[in-house]
Amino acid sequence: MKVNVVKNVLQANDIVANKNRQTFKESQTLAINLISSPGSGKTTLLEKTIPALNPDSQSIVIVGDLQTTRDADRLSDKAYQVTQINTGLSCHLYANQIAESLGDLNFKEADFLFIENVGNLVCPGEFDLGENVKVVLLSIPEGDDKVAKYPTIFRVADLVLLTKIDLIDALDFDLQRVRDDLSKLNANVQLIEFSSHTGAGMEQWLDWLRIKQTESIGTQARFIKE
């Protein structure tokens, strides 16, 4: 006996992701999925970003790591609320882990939800969490060939943050190569040269976040009218 199924294998995850997206719309929260290799500066970025967004806005954070609560500990006095997900052996977050974490967070008050995904440039791209935007970090020490090597995640990024830009002169990093590789994947992706250390690109990044947050509220307003 043969059964014709024709079903999306990742459907279970996608259904929960869509529910999350609806939840974020209703609470007018911009959900940002931060994706990068381990050590590219995601937690440091949040340590600098969240206080800079204050006092006008509330930020909450969900951090995913295989083990430890170190990232959540680092951020606990910066963000309004922080929760850590330990994924064990899983190399990415699932939508249902976000849905479960939302139960512990007072997200309705939040303007920004930062989801720090597990450090990995491959698997997080496969699993929709219901986020509004994907921000991919690429740090200068990782090398200028990573966009071409991991094209999938860079193609679906809304923004690429080129972190640790203050190290560019010390390392043999070809910025134009990154721009060229990105332009082959997605003409609409933005790139910000950024340094948590010097503050370079910080204003541009904060403006981008505020614009996206306003846009997501705008979408919500239209949604209610329809």
Asked if 76 is part of the footprint of other proteins (rule: CB under 8 A), the reply reads no
Asked if 10 is part of the footprint of other proteins (rule: CB under 8 A), the reply reads yes
Look at residues 183, 167, 176, 201 and name the one whose alpha carbon lies nearest to residue 39: 167
The single residue listed with the structure tokens 């006095």 is 77
Asked if 145 is part of the footprint of other proteins (rule: CB under 8 A), the reply reads no
Stretch that binds other proteins, among 4-12, 109-117, 190-198, 206-214 (CB under 8 A): 4-12
**Residue from 69, 76, 96, 186 in contact with other proteins (CB under 8 A):** 186
The single residue listed with the structure tokens 């309705």 is 108
| Separation CA 174–CA 25 (nearest Å) | 39
Cα angle 215, 218, 222 (rounded to 5 degrees) comes to 140
**Residue from 13, 20, 139, 213 in contact with other proteins (CB under 8 A):** 13
Q: Taking the mean position of all CA atoms in its chain, how far away is CA 66?
A: 17
Distances in Å between the alpha carbon of 89 and those of 43, 57, 131? Answer: 21, 34, 23
Asked if 181 is part of the footprint of other proteins (rule: CB under 8 A), the reply reads yes
Look at residues 113, 84, 157 and name the one whose alpha carbon lies nearest to residue 24: 113
Q: If DSSP codes are grouped into helix, strand and coil, which group holds residue 136?
A: strand
- Region label for 23, one of left (φ > 0), alpha (ψ between -120 and 50) or beta (otherwise): alpha
CB of 84 to other proteins, least distance (A): 20
**Footprint of other proteins on residues 106-135 (CB under 8 A)?**
122-123, 126-127
Question: 11-27 and 95-102 are packed helices; what angle lies between their axes, rounded to 10 degrees?
Answer: 40
Stretch that binds other proteins, among 24-32, 44-52, 75-83, 144-152 (CB under 8 A): 144-152
Asked if 151 is part of the footprint of other proteins (rule: CB under 8 A), the reply reads yes
- CB of 107 or CB of 127, closer to other proteins: 127
Asked if 88 is part of the footprint of other proteins (rule: CB under 8 A), the reply reads no
Asked if 99 is part of the footprint of other proteins (rule: CB under 8 A), the reply reads no
Query: Quick check: 137 and 40 in contact, CB under 8 A?
Result: yes
**Residue from 27, 28, 44, 90 in contact with other proteins (CB under 8 A):** 90
Stretch that binds other proteins, among 19-27, 39-47, 88-96, 168-176 (CB under 8 A): 88-96
| Separation CA 24–CA 3 (nearest Å) | 37
Asked if 152 is part of the footprint of other proteins (rule: CB under 8 A), the reply reads yes
Asked if 224 is part of the footprint of other proteins (rule: CB under 8 A), the reply reads no
Note the residues at the interface with other proteins (CB under 8 A). Answer: 1-10, 12-13, 90-92, 122-123, 126-127, 148, 151-152, 155, 181, 183-188
